[in-house]
Each structure stands twice: as C-alpha cells, then as structure tokens.
Structure 1
C-alpha cells in the first residue's frame, strides 16, 4: 500500500481537468500538493481552492517538455513542501488531424507534450525515489493508447499515449526492485477543459501558443459509447488505485468489450497468421 497523507505530491497539468481532480483528492487525503502547469493562473486557482479547504498547495509554472523547467519545479516543490515522493505525470495535449496534414512542429509537440514529457518527469523525480526506496509514479495515458483504432485522425497522439502505457509497465519491473510503485492511468471520457485550453499549452518552440478550441473533423467518430465522468470523481479513482499499488487503472470499465474485440480481431489474428504461416513452411520444407 502507498500512503498519501503526509507526503509531497507533484501533479503536472494540475491546473485543470484530470490534474485538478487529482490535486484536490491528494490534498483531501492529507498530501501537500505542488500543482505544476504551463498555464500559471490555472495552477494558482487550484492551489487557492485547496488552501481555502485547509490543505497545503503550491502553484508552479512548468513546461514538461523542458528539463530545466522541471528541475526548477522540483527545487521549488522540495524547498516549500518537502521532497516529492508522489509523482503524477499528467500533463498532455491532443490533436485530431490526419497525419498528412500535420507539420513537423505539430508532431514534435504532440509527442513531446505527452510521451517525452512523462519521460522527462520520470527522469527528474524517479531517481530520488530509488535512492529513498520509497515513492510512487503515476502517468496519464489514454484510451487512445490502449485502443489506438478507437478513433481516427489521432495517430501521433495514440502513438505517444501507447508509448506511456508501455513505458510504465516496463518501469514497474525495475521500480519494484527499489520498493517504488508505478501506475499507468488510462482515462476514457473525462470532463475537462482540454478542447478549450489545448492551443494555449503549446510552447513557442513548437509553434505556439495559440487560441481557439480543438476542432474534431467530420468522420472522427468514436467507435464506442462514451460516458464523460467528472474529473473530481476520476481523481478519487486514480488516487485509490495508487494507494493500492495497482499497475494500471482505467477510468471506465465499460470499454472491456471494445478492448476484447479489438485485440481478438487484430492481435489474435496476427498470432493465428504467424502460426499458420510457419505450419505451411514446415510442411513445405519437411522441417519441424
């Protein structure tokens, strides 16, 4: 079990949506929370919300694609709240575009804001947990990574989010040696301000920031019914999973059937194809 009370937690992308839900629940459970967000006003609003309820929180402006920015966030959190032993690498950005319509900057931003940003967070905070033989890392992926064919025009995003799942499940193997817990969080439908804020999350070196909502093109239809759950409720679910040291938590069990159908159709078919191919080759060559 991972204890939350009395620890210092850092939540990236903590100024809205899932990050805010995580921060509120961590504070309610007795953690001191560093709210790191590329939009500092959002981080301050959440920190003030926590303080108004008697909790302890610190707002930090942070860009997870920039290692120097993360180093500054680590220093500020440690100085004000104590060493970070609970990391929630939650910041991310999205896009709904055909890969042929995306510029090099578009792709770099999506991959860095999601996958590289999580790796940067792990590289910044995880070594101290290893040294202390204590702590927990939780990273936010997406159903788009678990079920990458679930929605079209999401190739760069799905690739990055699938990478987070793979990285976290692999990190669990080495983290276990040091008593450090890991959780891959796979959100499905969650109420957030992602569509409205997304363009503002884009750093200048990737061609941003911008304004306006994310536009979902015609034809980008979800291939499963989606229930959008409140971020505060999802935050409670994720923190509970971290407390129980669960290697993965999914925000909606209703996608079980879609997962089964997807992997039976694609992955199981690939297994069957390989088995059939080598069976035919063995018969042709006379070798087992």
Structure 2
C-alpha cells in the first residue's frame, strides 16, 4: 500500500476546526505545510484558528459550515476549492456529545447527535470524493471515538456510541470501495482529549434541533468514573499521532494504546464468547439448512 509520506503542499479541510480536536488537527496540518480550510458552525472560532495559523506563517481560510445542512456542505466545497484548489485531505471531525439515558432524550436530542456525528461525516466525505477520484488519490480521516469501538465500555452514551460506530463502519467499507482510486481512510478514535465539549457542546446545536443553548453536558457518575480513570491529552498533543496514521494509511488512529485491554474485555471477548456459543449450538443441533440458491439471491437474474 502506497503511503502518503508528505502532507506538505496538500490542501486539507477540517470540519469542526474552530475548537478542540479540529483546532489541533488544523494547526498541525499547517505546521506540516498543508493549506488548511477550517470549517466550523461558529465562524468566529474558525477565524481565530485561521488567524493563528497565518500568524505562524501558514496558509488557512475560515468558512462557516453546518454539517447537518446539505447546502452548507455544498458551499463549503465550493469555497474550499476556490481558496486552495481541489482538496486532497478531508478531516471529517465535527461532532457533538451526550451522556443522557436514551429514554430521557427527546427526538431532537437523538436526531442531533446522530445527524452531526454520522450523517455530517457522510455528507462531508461524499461532497469531496468526486474530486479525489478524479485526481487519483486522497485521504479521508473521520473522528470517531473509543465509544464507537467500545460501545460496551462507557455508560449512558447510546446514540453517540451508535453514531461513532457507524463512522467506523463507513470508513472501513469505503476503504474497499475507494482503494482502486488511490483513496484511503482512517477512523480516529480519541480515548480522552480535553476538547471543551462538556462546557461548549450546546453552543454548536443548530436551531432545527432546538439550539443553540447554554449549560454544561450532564455526565452520570458512572460515566464520570470511567473518564476519570483515563489521562486526557490536549488537541495539540494528539494531532501528530493522527497525522502519522494518515501518512501511513492506517485504518485506525488511537491516542491511548493502553485502552486495548478494554477492547478485549468489553468487545472482542464478548463477540468471541457469542461465536463460541453459536458453534456449541451447531455442534449439538447441526448447521442451519442452507438455501440452495445461495449468493444468487443477492443478484437475481430473473
């Protein structure tokens, strides 16, 4: 697999680039020589990051973008191309969080979390792919979460975990779809980064989902205990780790390798145990009867 060994001279777009992980990625991309489009639902945040990059000698432009809005994504693509030409690096990073039990969430709460985290990534990726395909290469890095890779680890996180797991599925399947075009994907699964989302989350909520608002995200004591057991890094500290994964076309980027033990205990071991149970059932009862037409059902000929 050909590695993208140099980011310098590439054009990149970072959604949610006005704060948190997106801010860290934007600054590191610029430090490594990329021209960076910083997209954010709060334009002043994006402008602050862009000005900091330019003051340090980098190239950056700020664009207002709501990833839950199709027209906003189209405008982002047009303005990004006008600023720096075809985009070769897409960092679909915009997101929102929630730690409420599912039964206590409103429809607007759920739809916002799923739309911004999963559909926002899908819209952003889909918008920029045609140009990447035409150019014969590129890279999409989507910010997922350890909550998506370890959905059985952090409590009261169900819609968020579901959306982030969807991102992982999207990126891994797209890697099959796009490899012939020289386009690679990475799912970044942060395991503890000080992003400020606990305080600022409600400010990013679009009006159609009942926002924006004020107030901190309520986190249950059980979830707080899990979080407190992990070190939290700064966005600037984790950004080089993410870009290293991108440059080497790795399927995943992690910032807490010690969390693999939780992958085993809350996911891998659980899945293996269920496979073992199914095998035991088949050993006792025999395999289910197979349809003689098999795979033909997927592609009927008439």
Q: What is the deviation of 1:263?
A: 2.7
For residues 269 and 253 of structure 2, the distance between their equivalents in structure 1, rounded to whole angstroms, comes to 24
Conserved 8 A contact 1:152-1:221: no
Q: What is the deviation of 1:282?
A: 2.7
For residues 57 and 178 of structure 2, the distance between their equivalents in structure 1, rounded to whole angstroms, comes to 33
Structure 2 partner of 1:249: 253
Conserved 8 A contact 1:200-1:210: yes
Q: Does 2:85 match 1:48?
A: no
User: Aligned ranges for residues 131-150 of structure 1 at < 5 Å?
Assistant: 131-150=134-153
Query: 1:70-112 CA deviation, whole Å, 9 max, x = no partner?
Result: 1111111111121111100000000010000011111100000
For residues 195 and 224 of structure 2, the distance between their equivalents in structure 1, rounded to whole angstroms, comes to 19
Q: What is the deviation of 1:264?
A: 4.3
Query: 1:5-46 CA deviation, whole Å, 9 max, x = no partner?
Result: 111100000011110110001001111100000111110000
Q: Does 2:78 match 1:75?
A: yes
Of stretches 97-106 and 259-268 in structure 1, the one that deviates more from structure 2 is: 259-268
- Counting matched residue pairs gives 284
Q: Which runs of 4+ in 1 moved over 2 A?
A: 217-225
Q: What is the deviation of 1:192?
A: 1.1
Conserved 8 A contact 1:65-1:112: yes
Q: What is the deviation of 1:222?
A: 4.5
Say which of 110, 113, 117 aligns to 2:113: 110
Q: What is the deviation of 1:188?
A: 0.5
Structure 1 partner of 2:299: none
Conserved 8 A contact 1:151-1:221: no
Structure 2 partner of 1:236: 240
For residues 159 and 100 of structure 1, the distance between their equivalents in structure 2, rounded to whole angstroms, comes to 15
Structure 1 partner of 2:231: 227
Of stretches 125-134 and 5-14 in structure 1, the one that deviates more from structure 2 is: 125-134
For residues 46 and 32 of structure 2, the distance between their equivalents in structure 1, rounded to whole angstroms, comes to 19
Return the TM-score normalized by structure 1: 0.95
Say which of 258, 262, 265 aligns to 2:266: 262
Say which of 163, 172, 192 aligns to 2:166: 163
Query: 1:140-171 CA deviation, whole Å, 9 max, x = no partner?
Result: 00000000111111000000000101110111
Runs of at least 5 residues in structure 1 that lack an aligned partner in the other structure: none
Say which of 96, 99, 103 aligns to 1:100: 103
For residues 186 and 147 of structure 1, the distance between their equivalents in structure 2, rounded to whole angstroms, comes to 10
Conserved 8 A contact 2:16-2:41: yes
Q: Does 2:221 match 1:218?
A: yes
Structure 1 partner of 2:156: 153
RMSD across aligned C-alpha pairs, in angstroms? 1.5
Query: CA, structure 1 residues 66+154, in 2 after alignment: closer, same or farther (shift >3 Å)?
Result: same
Q: Does 2:27 match 1:29?
A: no
For residues 232 and 222 of structure 2, the distance between their equivalents in structure 1, rounded to whole angstroms, comes to 20
Q: What is the deviation of 1:221?
A: 4.1
Query: 1:197-251 CA deviation, whole Å, 9 max, x = no partner?
Result: 1101110111111111111123324547311011101111111111111111111
Q: Does 2:25 match 1:15?
A: no
